[in-house]
Structure 1
C-alpha cells in the first residue's frame, strides 16, 4: 500500500459517519444544555470584546479572539469551502452553517473549560491551557491515572497534528495561489514562508498575539468587502444561490439529490476544519486570556465561530456559486465523474482556483492576485496559531521536567519540525496535504468531543454562576470552590489573592486582579 493510499484509508476511517454524527449531535446537545447560549449570549460576546481585561501574563479578550481567528480563518475559508462544494455540491454549505450554529455552543463549553483549568507556564509566566489540561485536572480527584493518560494522548496527537499534519495544508494553498497568480515557484514561496514564520514563532505568545491582532482584522474585513462587491454585482443571483444550497442540502435538487450523504459529510468535515468548534483548538487561545470569569472567554470563542463560518465562509460560497465557477464531482476525488461543470471546467482542481475564477468575473486578471494575497495572510496567521497550540501541548508534556535547558531545547526542536512541515507542504500536491490535515483535525475532534461530553458540568456551573452574578449587577468573579469545582488551582489562588491583598486600587494588589 502506498503512502497516499494509507492516508486515504486512515482519513476514511476517521471521518466516517459516526464522527459526522457526533459533531452534530454534540452541538445540538450543548445548545439545549446551555439554554441556547450561542443566541442569547450575543450581547455578552460583544460586551466582552470591548471591555476585556489584560495583564502582563495574559492577553486581552480581543487579542485572544484574534489569535483564535488567526487559527480559524485560513485555507479552510477559501479552499475548504471550494472542496466542500466540489464533492458535496452547494448543499454542503448549509451543513457548514449548521455545524457552525450548533458548534458555537460546543465552542463555549470547551473554551470555558480551557479557562477554568489553565495554569502559568514555569518558564515564561504566560497562561497555558487547553484540552490536555482540563482532561487531566477535571476528574483527577476521582480517576487520576485515566485522566492523565487521556490528557497525554490528546497532547501527543495535538503536537503532531499542529506541527506536522495541518501546517502543510495552509502552506500548500498559499504556494499554489501565489504560483497561479504571479508565477512564483512553490520552492521560492516555501523559503520565504519558513523565514517569516521562524521570526514570529521564536518570539513567543506575546509576539504571536500582537501579530494576529494587527493582521487578522483588516485582512478579514477586506476579504468580506470584496465579496460584498461580488454580491451586489450578482445580486440577481441571490435566489439561485440559496435555492442551490437548500435544495442540495436536503436531497431535493435534480442534480445533487443523489449525493446528499456527501453534502452532509463534506459540509460537516470542512465546517469543523474551518470553524474548529469541538476540535479542541479554541480552548488553547481561550486559556491565554486575562478575564475575571471563565464564561467570558466562552462567549468570545463562540462568537469566533460565527465570524469564521457565517461571515467569511459564506462570502466565499456566494462568490463561487453566484459566478458559476465550480465543478461538482460524483465521487470524492478530483477527476472523478462529474455531475455538474461550471465556468471553471474540469481542469481546475477544487480549491483557491474556484474563488480566483469567481473574482476574475468581476475584475479580470485581478482575482488571482487578490485571492493569493488573502491566502498569504490567512494561511500564514493560521500556521502561526498552529505553532502556538503545538507549543502549549509540548509545554504540557514537559512541564514536569525540572531542567529548563531541556524544555527549551524541545521547544526549538518543535519549531524546526513545523518549519520542515511548512516547506514540505508548500511543495507537495494538494491532495496529500489535505489528507494529512483531515487526519489531524478528525483525530483531535474524536478525542475532544468525547472528552467534553464527560467533563461538561464545570462549564455549565460556570455559566450559571456568571448569569447569577450578572443579575445582581456585579462584574462576575470566579471562585471554583463556591461551585464545587475541583482541580482549578489557578482560580483558587487568584480568589485567595483577591481576599488577602486589599480593596480595589490598593498598591499591594496582585497583578492578576481583574479590576486593575
Structure 2
C-alpha cells in the first residue's frame, strides 16, 4: 500500500507539475502587469470594506477563511521538510512560487466570484462551478468536485491532525490518541454549526495566531541578528547551486520549495476560490485582489518566520532523498514540527515545545475547518439537482474519522496522501484557469477601468460578454448591496 502511494505521488508531482505552477504564475503576473504589486494600496481598503449578508460572508471573513486553509501545518512542518530534503535554497523557491502564485490566486478567486451561485440560501462557488459554467465541461466539473471531496474530506485532514498530534506529544507528552479525541470533539462542534460558525471562528483565530507566531519569530531573529546576513546569503546561494555544501541538490531545492510552497499557500490549487466565492462584494476583482494578498501573508510572512527561526538557530538537518546527509545538526530528529520546536527552545528553553505545539494546533485546526467547508461546497455542487442530505452527514463522519486516524498514523504516509490530494486538485484547476484566461483578464481590466473613472466598481457580465454568470445577471442588485453592506 505504502509503495503504491509513494509511486502515485511521484507521478502526480513530476517535474511537469512543478514547472507548470511556476510557468502559469509567471504568465498571470506578466499578463496582469504584476497586479500583486500595483494594487497593494487597495488591499487594506478592500479587505475591511463591506459586510456580510444572510447569503454571504464579508470580504475579511472570506480572507480569513481562505487563510485558515492556507495557513496550516505547511507553515511549520512543511517548511521544515522543504529544508530537510531540499536544503536552505528551498526557502527561496517557496518565496518565488508565492510571489508568482499571487497572480494565479487572483484569477481563480475572481473566476469563483464570476460564476458563483446562491444555493440553499448561501453563496457557493469554486472550480467545479466555473468549469461547468465557463468551460461548459460538466464531466470535468464533476471530476474536480469528486477529487476535491476525496482530497479535502479524506486525504488532507490527516496531515494536519498528524502534525498537531506530533507537536502536542513533543511539547506536552500527551498521547496522540487523546489529542485525536479532543480534535474530533472540537471539530464536530464547529462543522455541525455551518459555514457561518466556521467563518466566525476563522475571523477571530487566524489573525491572532499568525501575529503571535510572527512576533516570536522576530524576537528570535533579533536575538540572533548577527547571523542574519549569513542566513540570507545561504538561502540565495543554495537556491542557485552556488553554495559548496548544497550545490549538488539544486533540483531538490526547486522541487521541494515549489511543492511545499504550493502545499502551504495553495495558489492555483483550487481551494481558496471556495471561500472567495462566499464573499459579499460588488465586483469579482475585489475579492481576487484580497485573495492574492493572502498568498503573501501565508508564505512571505508565516513561512518565512518558520524558515528564519530554523536557519538562524541552526536547528535543522539536510538529507536529500536517496543521498547522504549534508547537515546533521539535530541527529536523528524526524523532519517536521520538531525542527521549529528545537529552534525556539534554543533561545527560550522549555518554551519552544509547548509554544510550537499550541501554534501548530491553531494553524492546523483552522485548516481542517477550511477543508471541511471546501468538501461540503463540492458535495453541494454534486447534489445540486437532487437533495441528498444524508451525504453531508457521511462527509462529516468521514472527516472526523480521518482526523482521528491521521492523529495516530505515521507522518510519512500522512504527508504522501496529502501530496496526492494537493497535486490532483492542482492539475485539474490549473488547466481550467488557463482555459479561462480571457474572462479573468477581462474582469481585471473592467475593474481597473471603473477605478480610473472614479467609480466604485460594480460587475456587469453582460457588458463584458461573459455568459452564464446567473447570479450577477438575475439576482445581484447594487442598490440593495450598498444598503446591506456599505460596499
Q: TM-score range by the shorter chain?
A: over 0.9
Equivalent of 2:228, from 227, 231, 238?
238
Moved more, 392-401 or 485-494: 485-494
Equivalent of 1:337, from 314, 317, 324?
324
Aligned twin of 1:56:
54
Q: Indicate how the Cα distance of structure 1 residues 297 and 510 shifts in structure 2: closer, same or farther if over 3 A, else same.
A: closer
Asked if structure 2 preserves the Cα contact closer than 8 Å seen for 1:54 and 1:291, the reply is no
Aligned twin of 1:47:
45
Aligned twin of 2:179:
189
- Whether 1:216 and 2:206 are equivalent positions in the alignment is yes
TM-score (norm 2): 0.98
Please state how far the C-alpha of 1:337 moved relative to its aligned partner: 2.5
The CA deviation string for residues 78-99 of structure 1, in whole angstroms up to 9 with x for no partner, is 0000000000000000000000
User: Take 2:81 and 2:406, find their aligned partners in 1: how far apart are those partners?
Assistant: 18
Equivalent of 2:126, from 120, 126, 130?
130
The CA deviation string for residues 47-70 of structure 1, in whole angstroms up to 9 with x for no partner, is 101213321211111100100111
Aligned twin of 1:460:
441
Aligned twin of 2:19:
21
Please state how far the C-alpha of 1:512 moved relative to its aligned partner: 8.7
Aligned residues: 487
Aligned twin of 1:420:
401
User: Take 1:487 and 1:206, find their aligned partners in 2: how far apart are those partners?
Assistant: 27
User: Take 1:416 and 1:512, find their aligned partners in 2: how far apart are those partners?
Assistant: 40
The CA deviation string for residues 20-58 of structure 1, in whole angstroms up to 9 with x for no partner, is 000000000001111111110111212101213321211
User: Take 2:482 and 2:391, find their aligned partners in 1: how far apart are those partners?
Assistant: 30
Runs of 4+ in structure 1 over 3 Å off: 509-516
User: Take 2:211 and 2:438, find their aligned partners in 1: how far apart are those partners?
Assistant: 37
Please state how far the C-alpha of 1:510 moved relative to its aligned partner: 7.0
Equivalent of 1:308, from 298, 316, 325?
298
Please state how far the C-alpha of 1:459 moved relative to its aligned partner: 1.4
Aligned positions of 1:68-217 closer than 5 A: 68-122=66-120, 125-140=121-136, 147-217=137-207
User: Take 1:421 and 1:511, find their aligned partners in 2: how far apart are those partners?
Assistant: 42
Task: Please tell me the root mean square deviation across aligned C-alpha atoms, in Å.
Answer: 1.3
TM-score (norm 1): 0.93
Moved more, 455-464 or 284-293: 455-464
User: Take 1:419 and 1:54, find their aligned partners in 2: how far apart are those partners?
Assistant: 29
Aligned twin of 1:380:
365
Asked if structure 2 preserves the Cα contact closer than 8 Å seen for 1:494 and 1:512, the reply is no
User: Take 2:398 and 2:247, find their aligned partners in 1: how far apart are those partners?
Assistant: 44
User: Take 2:321 and 2:70, find their aligned partners in 1: how far apart are those partners?
Assistant: 27
The CA deviation string for residues 262-312 of structure 1, in whole angstroms up to 9 with x for no partner, is 000000000000000000011001001000000000001000000000000
SS at match of 1:458: helix
Aligned twin of 2:354:
369
SS at match of 1:51: coil
Aligned twin of 1:389:
374
SS at match of 2:326: strand
Instruction: Give the gaps of 5 or more residues in structure 1.
Output: 141-146, 499-503
Please state how far the C-alpha of 1:493 moved relative to its aligned partner: 1.3
SS at match of 2:144: helix
Q: Indicate how the Cα distance of structure 1 residues 5 and 479 shifts in structure 2: closer, same or farther if over 3 A, else same.
A: same
Asked if structure 2 preserves the Cα contact closer than 8 Å seen for 1:70 and 1:378, the reply is yes
Please state how far the C-alpha of 1:360 moved relative to its aligned partner: 0.3
